[in-house]
Amino acid sequence: MSNGYFQITLPENEPVKGYLPGSPERAALKAELDRQLANPIEVPMIIGGKEIRSGNKAKMICPHDHQKVLGEYYIAGEAELLRAIEAAEAAKAEWENMSWEHRATIFLKAADLLTGKYRAKLAAACMLGQSKNPYQAEIDVICELADFLRFNPYYVQEIYKQQPNNSAGVWNRVEYRALDGFVAAITPFNFTSIGGNLPTAPAMVGNTVLWKPSSTAVLSNYYFMQILIEAGLPAGVINFVPCKGVDFGKVVVSHPKMAGFHFTGSTAVFNGIWNQVGANIDKYVTYPRLVGETGGKDFIFVHESADIEALTCAIVLGAFEYQGQKC
């Protein structure tokens, strides 16, 4: 048994590359864009660490050019979703009992793979599958996702360090454990970084997860799932199950062992999930924790000292950059 004391230092934000003319990152990205366009792929489900293919498939296309097909992905049905739940439950005990620093190393390794040898691959997939320009893809699927993978283990450490005060003759200690069941994660089309964060954040603290990626962001999400596996994520900890929302709701959200729901998407969908959980509340093993981020644009309050030209630029970008599909 290890008795070392391990500490993660406060990370630094991943530097943003500029993709300027003549730069090596620009050349690598252009080559990868050409490669992915010329080589459509087949994306399986990943359940219990195994690639699963069903009889139901859908195409992945470029939103900006519907004639360009990036490949096809397999769609999970009721049988595959139930299998994923079984895989999550089977992996739970060993994963939860793994030392937190060992879990953390997997995600820290994933960040290094993402920002290293797979940087061009993930950026190109985000550009082609979600219609982002090089700068938008860089700050999303590379820098922000890498920051999630590095800062979240640090924050896990800080949470675990929080302990109650002691009294005379008493040493009070708190141990943190995972939820009593699995976590369901539904992720959005507009940010691959959120796609990667919603399943990995609960996994870092010992939970096992069913991950339903957006049907219009499968490609980059799948490549990130491959990175997690290469980084050492054990089978069944995160199960990658592209599927129809109605099937996920019927099979997964209503399952007695769903202990957490992690979501970014529309307000209407989250309201529907909340209603569904309420209608099934007497069936659950525990009260599910619901975390949802939903859509909307903010008011802008401007101080009289503001730089009007910079403000105008920021307002236009906030409203219309990436077709207005940003938070």
Which positions are annotated as active-site residues?
A: 293, 327
Instruction: Give ∠ CA 295-299-300 in degrees, rounded to 5.
Output: 130
Here the tokens at position 22 are 């003549």
d(CA 249, CA 181): 16
Distances in Å between the alpha carbon of 245 and those of 123, 222, 264, 272, 283? 26, 18, 13, 11, 21
Region class of 220: left (phi > 0), else alpha (psi between -120 and 50), else beta: alpha
In what helix (H) or strand (E) does residue 58 lie, and over which residues does it extend?
strand 57-62
**Nearest in space to 208 (alpha carbons), one of 264, 277, 258, 280:** 258
Cα(187)–Cα(250) distance, rounded to whole angstroms? 17
Please, what is the end-to-end C-alpha distance for the chain in angstroms?
46
Q: Sheet containing 57-62: give its strands across.
A: 41-43, 65-74, 57-62
- Measured in whole angstroms, the distance separating CA 207 from the mean position of its chain's CA atoms is 14
Assigned token pair, 277:
């959980």
181: left (phi over 0), alpha (psi -120 to 50) or beta: left
The strand ranges marked E within 205-298 are 209-212, 238-240, 258-265, 289-294
